[in-house]
Amino acid sequence: MSSPINKNSPDLLPLRALIVEDAEDDALLLVRSLRRAGYDLTFQQVDTAEAMAAALAEQAWDLVVSDYSMPSFSALEALQVLKQSGFDIPFIVLSGNIGEETAVESMRAGAHDYVMKGNTARLLPAIDRELREAASRRQRRRAEETLLESEQRFRSIFLNAITGMVTLSGDGCFLQVNPAFCKMLQCSEAELVGKSTYDFTHPSDIALTRRLFNEAELSQRQSVDYEKRFVCKNGDTLWVHVSTCWLFDDQRQVTYAISLVHDITPHLQAQQEIRQLAYFDTLTGLPNRQLFRERCADLLAQAGKNPVGLIILDLDRFKGINDTFGHDIGDQLLQEVSERLTDCLEKRAILARLGPDEFAVALPDIDSPESLSFLAEKILIALAVPIELNDQPLYCSASIGLALYPTDGGNVDTLVKHAGVALHQSKEQGVGSYRFYSPEMNLATSQRLAMETHLRQALERQELSLHYQPQIDLASGRVIGMEALLRWDSSALGSISPVRFIPLAEETGLILPIGEWVLETACKQAQEWHQAGFDRLRIAVNISACQFKQPDFVDRIDRILQATGLDPRCLEIELTESIVMERSEETLLTLTDLKVRGIKLAIDDFGTGYSMLSYLKYFPIDRIKIDRSFVRDITTDSDDAAITEAIVVMAHSLKLKVVAEGVETEEQLEFLRRCGCEEVQGYYFSRPHPVDRAELFLSRHFADNSK
Ligand code: C2E
Ligand code: MG
Ligand code: MG
């Protein structure tokens, strides 16, 4: 600090001096010379220990200047008072006569300098110097205090942090460990300090940790974040996220590292759960479609010269089982199926659940297509064994489509699609079979697609029509009913059989508007016939399961009956066996609702499904229609003859009427007559015809006894 000389300057240096002096004049002299030297002086003069102590306590001082000896006080005593106050204030002794001894004594007692009274030339630089030194002492003290404070703060954070904190030596030994870290590793501080971090690191992560220490030295990077595993005292693995800061010495070696350690085990568990949900089917625990695509793509990428086989499997009639026995049984069945499939497969195969009742298998490195068909057969056999659920055996066969990589597709999606096409074909072939994909099948699929597109427009383009086939009462030979059969004359695709387009309409939901149209048209036609004199002629209309299951099905029928004016007793609804098989409350309610209106109920194609006649007694059914596949062979196949006979007998015992479908010959007719079958329908009498021709037949045979 240079002496601030100019008294008028605004930069005058403030100085608070405590003057220990008994002689007023001497004190004023000192004051004057200090002011002259440029200090903005405030001062107080004291000459006793008490006055000095009071002055020190009262305000802060920059400087004490003390006379060496006074009548009732002395510089040495003043030094004592200062010392007791605890303040670090420069203390300069002034004396009239200076002796070396007193000087030494004063300095020893703690004075900072010793100056002859009146020797301003020496006093001012001494004050200047001492003020400077006192300032730097103060600064140092503040720095030390700050450091201490920060150390204490760090210590408290270190001790109380919920994050693990450790300091490590350059070779990876724990120097300090905080309680949170000890808790994570389930160790005491003593068990960790001095030990190497590698002693607690998971064996698989030791190399990683070492590499990070080495790389830090090589790159001189200050910090690094990474994830690793520790092994806790009880042997558990602990996943942690570590942030490490390195401190280097002059030789660029790590001398010291400080790490923050976060336990991320719960985080990883959550991640694992999310992964499980995103990639696995919760019911069977199998990979889902997404994971299958990824894993299968890996298989294809690694495939050698041998093909990769792909199997798509779909359970036959699973929906029926689900609807009939409930979802619990359905779920158990799927679990059992997934176990059986797993048992059929080698470890390297990938099994996944793609849809509700759809599974996929990818098998790498197969030596020939035969080995894939062998596997398909093995699976079909395993699934053919009935599954015991709730003490009842359930039969759940499957259909399988097969495709090979690379011949049938170069990527997973194409392979899955093509195996799906093959699956579809194998289903059409009959349940419980398998087929390989062939390019011609693809053609069939695209045709199906085209058919769907055109079917969507069929109604509005008026391409649909109804043909009617008479139903004959065997006893009288009279036409007593007409079955309405749907026809589609597509402008684009030509005439298409209902056997082909009805299943498609059912799959796509198009059957709902189409079925509604059929019902309305048929009822209207029947009513017209009634009005034309064909009184009480019955009209039979085929109803698909999905139509029947509409919650407002009965309302729809009511509306149509009302609109057309048809007597409900002249409407017969033909249902498939599967509907009745469900035996559900809703089915029974709907059937009863129809029944109370007088509507007749018939079971179509009886014998082809799995229903037992005894089931029918639970339902208000009027008639069963023996499927034409039995009728076809009654005169040649004794089994079919026996079955037909049995059906008629049992139906009668349940008070059900029987219609035989597909009667083509006189012999068949005779056999049926002998059995006691009441009604027949078939080409022998008439094919299904458009309204005009049907009406012609009707006018000839409605009241007639002859054929
Ligand atoms: P279905 O209800 O069993 O109808 C009887 C089928 O047998 C008709 O085939 C009929 O033409 C045929 N048929 C009748 N007599 C003989 C015969 O003596 N010999 C032979 N070989 N066949 C005979 P179509 O018209 O091709 O209908 C096939 C199936 O399509 C129907 O079987 C029915 O299940 C369904 N279907 C037809 N129209 C409709 C409809 O409007 N709605 C619904 N949901 N299904 C319909
Ligand atoms: Mg029918
Ligand atoms: Mg039928």
Pairwise CA distance, residues 203 & 188, whole Å: 22
Ligand that lies nearest to the alpha carbon of residue 504, given by its number in the listed order = 1
Ligand 1 residue neighbourhood (C-beta within 6 Å): 469, 485-486, 497-499, 502, 515, 518, 542-544, 574, 604-605, 628, 661-664, 682-683, 688
Domain end: 85, 109, 140, which one? 140
Q: Is 707 a residue whose pLDDT tops 50? A: no
- The structure's pTM equals 0.50
Distance 563 CA to ligand 3 centre (A): 28
> Does 8 map to a domain?
no
Domain co-membership, 394 together with 537: no
What is the rounded average pLDDT of the residues 211-234?
Answer: 88
Check residue 272 and give its pLDDT: 80
Q: Is 9 a residue whose pLDDT tops 90? A: no
Distance 485 CA to ligand 1 centre (A): 6
pLDDT one-digit tens code per residue, 384-411: 888 888 787 888 889 999 999 999 999 9
3-state secondary structure 306-366: CCEEEEEEEECCHHHHHHHHCHHHHHHHHHHHHHHHHHHCCCCCEEEEEECCEEEEEECCC
Q: Is 581 a residue whose pLDDT tops 80? A: no
Could you list the residue range(s) of the whole structural domain that residue 223 is in? 161-269
Domain co-membership, 661 together with 541: yes
Domain co-membership, 530 together with 618: yes
Domain co-membership, 184 together with 331: no
> Does 595 map to a domain?
yes
Angle between helices 638-653 and 666-675 (to 10 degrees): 40
> Does 32 map to a domain?
yes
Q: Please, are residues 679 and 660 in contact by the beta-carbon 8 Å criterion?
A: yes
Overall domain count for the chain: 4
Ligand that lies nearest to the alpha carbon of residue 681, given by its number in the listed order = 1
> Does 130 map to a domain?
yes
> Does 494 map to a domain?
no
Check residue 706 and give its pLDDT: 38
> Does 448 map to a domain?
no
pLDDT one-digit tens code per residue, 588-644: 899 999 999 999 999 998 877 655 666 777 789 999 999 998 899 998 888 888 888
Measure Cα distances from 14 to 5, 61, 118, 174, 582 in Å: 12, 11, 22, 53, 105
Check residue 535 and give its pLDDT: 92
> Does 450 map to a domain?
no
Ligand that lies nearest to the alpha carbon of residue 485, given by its number in the listed order = 1
Q: Is 119 a residue whose pLDDT tops 90? A: no
The CATH number given to whatever domain includes residue 598 is: 3.20.20.450
- Pocket perturbation via mutation, ligand 1, pick of 468, 485, 672 by most ligand atoms within 8 A of CB: 485
Q: Please, are residues 312 and 409 in contact by the beta-carbon 8 Å criterion?
A: no
Check residue 609 and give its pLDDT: 63
Ligand that lies nearest to the alpha carbon of residue 467, given by its number in the listed order = 1
Q: Look at ligand 1, atom 21, and give the residue with the nearest C-alpha.
A: 662
Distance 629 CA to ligand 2 centre (A): 13
Check residue 276 and give its pLDDT: 80
- Pocket perturbation via mutation, ligand 1, pick of 661, 681, 683 by most ligand atoms within 8 A of CB: 661
The CATH number given to whatever domain includes residue 136 is: 3.40.50.2300
Q: Look at ligand 1, atom 25, and give the residue with the nearest C-alpha.
A: 485
Indicate which atom in ligand 1 lies nearest the CA of residue 467.
25
Domain co-membership, 97 together with 167: no
pLDDT one-digit tens code per residue, 455-471: 999 988 999 999 999 99
Indicate which atom in ligand 1 lies nearest the CA of residue 681.
15
Distance 624 CA to ligand 3 centre (A): 10
Domain co-membership, 606 together with 678: yes
> Does 495 map to a domain?
no
Q: Look at ligand 1, atom 42, and give the residue with the nearest C-alpha.
A: 542
Check residue 200 and give its pLDDT: 95
Domain co-membership, 525 together with 646: yes
The CATH number given to whatever domain includes residue 351 is: 3.30.70.270
Distance 484 CA to ligand 2 centre (A): 8
Check residue 10 and give its pLDDT: 56
Distance 222 CA to ligand 2 centre (A): 83
Residues with Cβ within 8 Å of 448's Cβ and at least 6 positions away in sequence, in order, are: 504
Domain co-membership, 427 together with 530: no
Distance 440 CA to ligand 1 centre (A): 28
Distance 604 CA to ligand 3 centre (A): 5
Q: What percent of the chain has pLDDT over 90?
A: 65
The torsion angles phi and psi of 197, rounded to 5 degrees, stand at -60, -30
Pairwise CA distance, residues 574 & 593, whole Å: 15
Residue 465 pairs with which residues in a beta bridge? 487
pLDDT one-digit tens code per residue, 534-557: 999 999 999 999 899 999 999 999
Domain co-membership, 244 together with 290: no
Domain co-membership, 380 together with 410: yes
Distance 318 CA to ligand 2 centre (A): 24
What is the rounded average pLDDT of the residues 37-62?
Answer: 94
Q: Look at ligand 1, atom 16, and give the residue with the nearest C-alpha.
A: 662
Q: Is 214 a residue whose pLDDT tops 90? A: no
Residues 465, 471, 475: CA angle, nearest 5 degrees: 170
Domain co-membership, 265 together with 301: no
Residues with Cβ within 8 Å of 566's Cβ and at least 6 positions away in sequence, in order, are: 523, 524, 526, 527, 530, 539, 560
Check residue 396 and give its pLDDT: 81
Q: Look at ligand 1, atom 43, and give the residue with the nearest C-alpha.
A: 542
- Pocket perturbation via mutation, ligand 1, pick of 467, 489, 514, 542 by most ligand atoms within 8 A of CB: 542
Distance 447 CA to ligand 2 centre (A): 26
Domain co-membership, 365 together with 472: no
Indicate which atom in ligand 1 lies nearest the CA of residue 469.
14
- DSSP E strands, 217-339: 223-231, 237-248, 254-263, 308-315
